[in-house]
Amino acid sequence: MLAEDLATAIAHYREHGYARLGKVCPDEQIEGLRARADEVMLGEVVYPGLFFQHDTTTGAYYDLTYGKGWQGPSLAYRKIEKLEKDPLFSAWVNDAIFRQLTAAVIGPDVVLYRALLMNKGAQGGTHLPFHQDGGKFWGLDRDPQLQVWTALDDAPEDAGCVEVLPGSHRDGLATPMGGVVPTEKVAAADAEPRVVKLPAKAGEVLLIHNHLWHRSGVNTTGQPRKAFTVCYMDAATRCLRTKKAPRQFVRVFTSASG
């Protein structure tokens, strides 16, 4: 990717809270990531310590269950976290284009908050309401600012593409806890008429600011809608949790990681 194209995308991200990088992941690499995602969901490739969350059968966000982890082979897992353990996903996390991106947005010393699959199975998935990825719930001494979202499958509007409220990141967190934006705040912001939908083709990449209001619907198509999202942050960030040992975050763009 040309430096001037990356600079244009970063400027758009800073102003609007999101940006398109275009199709920057080669077809062969996307096919490998897509196949590996299925292998992990089906238990054909196993890594200790992965976080699994199965999807709902109702499509309702508040019907999601937590803490059950692996529930057997299924292509209906909603979320799988810690995919930096896998060499194919790790290679994409550490790709040279993201080294350039994070150097410009974050700085020279970068770690991962998370690297996860977000999946909406064929004729499935869950309505994800407007939310922000930060706040006290994340348990950090500062909120990360940059998420990189890669479409592993085509993500048209009727498959539950990402939807955003441009510029909403500039007002900070809607609540100190972060997460789901309260319905009364969504109504007060007159958000619905200003929503921008971001359909994407497999291999396309989106930049998303953590404080940007974003959401997605269910997948009404007969094809899966998988995406891989990575949250990068400054290596100086510290975990504030006290009930367990503070989290240690994986460094990226080192000689060992590529």
Q: How far is it, in rounded angstroms, from Cα 115 to Cα 89?
A: 8
CA distances from 60 to 2, 56, 216 (A): 41, 7, 12
Tokens 């010393």 locate to 109
Task: With H, G, I as helix, E, B as strand and everything else as coil, classify residue 71.
Answer: coil
State mean pLDDT over 9-17.
98
Q: What band does 149 get if pLDDT is binned at 50, 70 and 90? A: very high
Q: What band does 4 get if pLDDT is binned at 50, 70 and 90? A: confident
Helices (DSSP H) in the chain: which residue ranges?
A: 3-16, 27-41, 87-93, 96-105, 183-188
What is the greatest pairwise CA distance in the chain? 48
Domain boundaries, the chain: 3-234
Assign residue 185 a region (left: φ > 0; alpha: ψ between -120 and 50; beta: otherwise).
alpha
| 173 contacts 217 by C-beta, under 8 angstroms | no
As a whole-number percent, the residues of the chain with pLDDT over 90 amount to: 89
* Token pair for 123: 């004729």
Assign residue 157 a region (left: φ > 0; alpha: ψ between -120 and 50; beta: otherwise).
alpha
Q: How many CB atoms within 10 Å of residue 176?
A: 9
> What is the end-to-end Cα distance of the chain in Å, rounded?
18
Report the run of H or E that residue 57 belongs to, with start and end: none
What class does CATH assign to 3-234?
A: mainly beta
- Sheet (strand 110-120) strand order: 18-23, 204-209, 146-151, 225-234, 110-120, 77-81, 51-54
pTM, entire model: 0.95
Q: Give the tens place of pLDDT for each residue, 99-136.
A: 999 999 999 999 999 999 999 999 999 999 999 999 99
Query: Residue 80 contacts by C-beta under 8 Å, 6 or more apart in sequence?
Result: 37, 40, 41, 50, 51, 52, 53, 116, 117, 119
Q: Give the tens place of pLDDT for each residue, 42-79.
A: 999 999 999 999 999 888 889 888 888 899 999 999 99
Q: Give the tens place of pLDDT for each residue, 154-189.
A: 999 999 999 999 999 999 999 999 999 999 999 999
